[in-house]
Amino acid sequence: MSGRLSLRSLVHRAWLLFPLSKSLPALEGPAIAAGRRVLEPPALYPERRARAAAPPRVAATIPECDTAATDCQGSGEGWLLLSSVLDDLSPGHTTLWVPSQHVLLTRCHATMVPWEATMALRDLTVSGAQLTEQQIEELIGPYARYDPEAGTIVLLPPAAKLSLRQRVLLYLVALQGWPFVTDAPHATTARPGPLSEALRVGGGTVRPLLMAMKEEHLVLVTAKGEYSVAIAALDSIREELNRQSKPRSRRAAGQTAKLPTLPQVHRLPKPSAATEAQSPRPAPSRPRVVEKSAGSVPRRKGKRHGGESAVFVPWVEAGYFDQFRTFGEILERFHAQGRMLKSTSLPGYLLEATRAGVLDREKKDINGKRVWVYTAPKRRAH
């Protein structure tokens, strides 16, 4: 612990900021505890210490107080900065710029001096030192621990209840605490790949979350693609980590989903032979007869049972087969009548009609090829 501060030691360095009216009453322990906590001791502002080296004093002076800052009286408009006096602070080393007044706090004496208008925007600056050891401990304390020997951050079982988005933020906040834990150099930023390995999640799942949080200004990204928490969004990060995560499904939690139980089926007792003899038997149902039109193409399943030749009877009577007809002409006539017969099914109809004597066929030379042509039987007599 030599050479560095523990996580608990900075608790006494928390600076309390109170509104100062015309009369400042005596401040006791509970009143101090109710004050607004400043993000960091004013001693972290070296440029402001230089400006406050010899500020002019005005007529609003706070008398000397004890080391616990529990009995201070004073008057004036603006804000008063109170703090527990630390041994390592010396006069002129603790200053803070606040609205409307500049408060200079020496070892046991506070003096209010005029505020410079040029310092207004300087109060809005954000420094990486604002994320103190105490704030890191408050955020990660219930969920993570440091392992300095292995150089890793170990997540505790309560972290499993957090969503992946919350765990990513938690790990990035924990990286900021390495300088307070050990003097050995450790990275305070992380790339999506090592971050996925540390959180033990599949590749490609962390990067979209980081990009979304970057759009929300919760994290920052360097030119090398390394991510870190945005110190200015500390309050939003705290709200994000304290937000109740949605309950995870059983399958996501590694539990086997219970299969739904089927309703119980009650089987009827099998009737005996005497019961079957006494019970009337239902009358046999008659087969359903479907009437077909004379020109319709019958639907065939499996083997053909005849009747295909009847399709060509109306064509013969109409004189369509008074001249030779080729396979292609017959198929085209089927399609013209809206009967989308396949070319692989037509040979069965033609062969059946030829066997039944409805059509005759013979080979003819057409366009240099010998093909089968079909005609009516009466043409053979001519």
User: Where do the structural domains in the chain lie, given as residue ranges?
Assistant: 9-124, 130-242, 308-381
Which whole number is the average pLDDT over 78-97? 37
Band of the pLDDT at 341, cuts 50, 70, 90?
confident
Residue 80 has pLDDT above 50, yes or no: no
How does residue 265 score in pLDDT terms, banded at 50, 70 and 90?
low
Confidence tier at 67 by pLDDT (50, 70, 90)? very low
Instruction: Report strand pairing: 144-147 vs 110-113.
Output: unpaired
Q: How far is CA 37 from the centre of its chain?
A: 35
Mean pLDDT of 197-223: 88
Per-residue model confidence (pLDDT) at position 92: 40
pLDDT: which is higher, 20 or 224: 224
pLDDT for the residue 77: 36
For the segment(s) 308-381, the CATH number from 3.40.50.11890, 1.10.10.10, 1.10.220.10, 3.40.50.620 is 1.10.10.10
Residue with tokens 């957090």: 162
- Hey, CA dihedral for 183, 234, 136, 134, is it positive or negative? positive
CA distance 360 to 337: 23
Q: Can you tell me the distance from the alpha carbon of 73 to that of 82, in angstroms, rounded to the nearest whole number?
A: 11
By mean pLDDT, which of 188-192, 206-210, 273-277, 335-339 is the weakest? 273-277
pLDDT of residue 64: 39
Would strands 227-229 and 101-105 be described as parallel, antiparallel, or unpaired?
unpaired
Q: What is the pLDDT of residue 376?
A: 85
- Mean pLDDT across the stretch 315-320? 80
Alpha helices (runs of H) in 118-228, residue ranges in sequence order: 133-140, 164-175, 178-181, 192-199, 206-215
Q: Please give the residue that has the higher pLDDT: either 227 or 294.
A: 227
In this prediction, residues 24-42 reach a mean pLDDT of 36
Q: One fold for both 130-242 and 308-381? A: yes
Burial readout 66-100 (b: 16 or more C-beta within 10 A, e: otherwise): eeebeebebebebbbbbbbbeeebeeebbbbbbee
Token output for 65: 């107080």
Residue 85 has pLDDT above 80, yes or no: no
Region 233-258: mean pLDDT is 66
In DSSP notation, 41-107 reads -GGG-HHHHHHTSSPPP-S-EEPP--TT--S--B--SEEEEE-PPPTT--TTSEEEEETTEEEEE-S
Distance CA 294, CA 271 (A): 50
Tokens 């002409």 belong to 329
pLDDT surpassing 70 at residue 303? no
**Dist CA 296 CA 344 (whole Å):** 18
Contact 131, 176 (CB under 8 A): yes
pLDDT beyond 70 at 351: yes
Q: Determine the average pLDDT of the residues in 30-35.
A: 33
Q: Residue 245 corresponds to which tokens in the numbers above?
A: 């995560």
Residue 233 one-letter amino acid: A
Q: Which residues sit opposite 375 in a β-bridge?
A: 360
Dist. CA 154–CA 277, nearest whole Å:
79
**pTM: predicted TM-score of the whole model, two decimal places:** 0.37
76 pLDDT above the threshold of 80: no
Which region among 122-131, 180-189, 262-271, 306-315 has the lowest average model confidence (pLDDT)? 122-131
Q: What pLDDT, on a 0 to 100 scale, did the predictor assign at position 65? A: 39
H helices present in the chain, as ranges: 29-33, 46-51, 133-140, 164-175, 178-181, 192-199, 206-215, 234-242, 273-278, 313-317, 327-336, 346-355, 378-381
Query: Of residues 288 and 224, which shows the higher confidence score?
Result: 224
**Percent of the chain topping pLDDT 70:** 47
Residue 150 is predicted with a pLDDT of: 86
Sequence-separated (6 or more) residues with CB below 8 Å from residue 331: 341, 343, 346
| Most confident residue range from 177-186, 261-270, 302-311 | 177-186
Architecture of domain 130-242: Orthogonal Bundle (1.10)
Task: Measure the CA–CA gap between 136 and 40, rounded to whole angstroms.
Answer: 13
Instruction: Say what the pLDDT of residue 28 is.
Output: 37
